[in-house]
């Protein structure tokens, strides 16, 4: 009996050492993946413009890297990276967002914590400077998940977030494209922004922000503020942020289904994403970024291009548009 007792103690001791070792391996690892939208970015664009996009992506990566490398949370990394991209007029989120058929900027955003599936989202906001921060306030300071229009604006004021006039979001470049769009059937391809992260504590987070589609009908809502369509995070599987034709991502609950395929079919992140693009989405529908609980990541798209980048604790740091 005594031998059995001692054997049990020994097994528990060895198991504890193994689990602690595994914890150390997982908990020092971090990954940040970002996107600036999927679409038809011209491979022959001037080098000056290409370098502007790449420089912006690299700056966003450094913002997130500083947070994650110093032990910050995946949520903080995701929010701050997207805030930077919202403030950057070269992307379709915040300042620089594309316009509705009435020439207004209507913004959507969402964020999700993989630790407990808490999430927040806003749609059709017109005067909130950083919609991603409002989405996080919805998640952390309300009993709800999604606020829209005037209700979202009112809640933003209650949370003392920075408010601006709608004209703040409309840059001369976007206004010119809007005027051109009124004369043609060509659609502007400027891209949604998003970020997914794994922090040193093993927690996943995802966030996405957008101005939607150029010349969209007023009040149109795409996949970005729909949890499970454009954004999803679950520590058991992965964190996902999507970009593309929002209606398609809503129909197929793309972000959620990547996670669900991993959990239910016991397949890898890469296999789950490829199944979604093969079995659910059509060519040229868009792309997504994702990172799983073990730090594996993917940046997948079926359009001509996707502005994207990744940084991790293993020394990877890269930003790309086409290749």
Could you list the active site residues? 192
221: closest CA among 240, 208, 205?
A: 208
Query: How many angstroms separate the CA atoms of 105 and 172, rounded?
Result: 13
How far, in Å, are 87, 156, 158, 239 from residue 252 at the CA level?
Answer: 30, 31, 35, 17
Name residue, tokens 């914890």. Answer: 23
Q: How far apart are CA 223 and CA 254, in angstroms?
A: 9
Residue 6 structure tokens:
């001692």
Among 323, 253, 241, smallest CA distance to 287 is for 241
List Cα–Cα distances, 208 to 110, 139, 227, 242, in angstroms. Answer: 6, 14, 10, 7
Token duo for residue 8: 């049990």
């Amino acid at each position: 009996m005594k031998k059995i007792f001692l054997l049990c103690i020994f097994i528990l001791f060895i198991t504890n050492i193994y689990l602690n070792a595994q914890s150390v391996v997982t908990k020092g690892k971090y990954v940040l993946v970002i996107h600036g939208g999927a679409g038809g970015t011209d491979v022959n664009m001037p080098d000056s413009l290409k370098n502007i996009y790449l420089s912006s992506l690299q700056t966003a990566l450094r913002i997130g890297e500083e947070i994650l490398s110093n032990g910050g949370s995946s949520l903080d990394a995701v929010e701050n990276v997207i805030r930077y991209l919202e403030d950057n007029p070269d992307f379709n989120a915040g300042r620089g967002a594309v316009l509705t058929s009435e020439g207004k900027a209507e913004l959507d955003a969402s964020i999700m914590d993989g630790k407990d599936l808490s999430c927040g989202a806003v749609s059709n906001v017109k005067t909130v400077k950083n919609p991603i921060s409002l989405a996080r306030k919805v998640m952390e300071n309300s009993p709800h998940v999604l606020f829209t229009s005037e209700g979202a604006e009112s809640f933003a004021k209650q949370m003392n977030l920075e408010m601006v006039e709608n004209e703040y979001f409309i840059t001369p470049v976007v206004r010119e494209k809007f005027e051109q769009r009124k004369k043609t059937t060509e659609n502007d391809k400027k891209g949604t922004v998003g970020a997914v992260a794994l922090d040193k504590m093993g927690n996943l987070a995802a966030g996405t922000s957008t101005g939607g589609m150029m010349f969209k009908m007023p009040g149109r809502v795409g996949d970005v503020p729909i949890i499970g369509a454009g954004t999803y995070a679950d520590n058991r599987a992965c964190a996902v942020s999507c970009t593309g034709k929002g209606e398609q991502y809503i129909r197929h609950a793309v972000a959620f289904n990547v996670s669900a395929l991993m959990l239910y079919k016991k397949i890898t992140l890469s296999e789950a994403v490829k199944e979604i693009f093969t079995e659910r989405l059509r060519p040229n529908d868009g792309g997504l970024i994702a990172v799983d609980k073990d730090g594996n990541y993917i940046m997948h798209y079926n359009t001509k291009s996707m502005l994207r980048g990744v940084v991790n604790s293993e020394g990877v740091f890269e930003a790309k548009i086409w290749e």
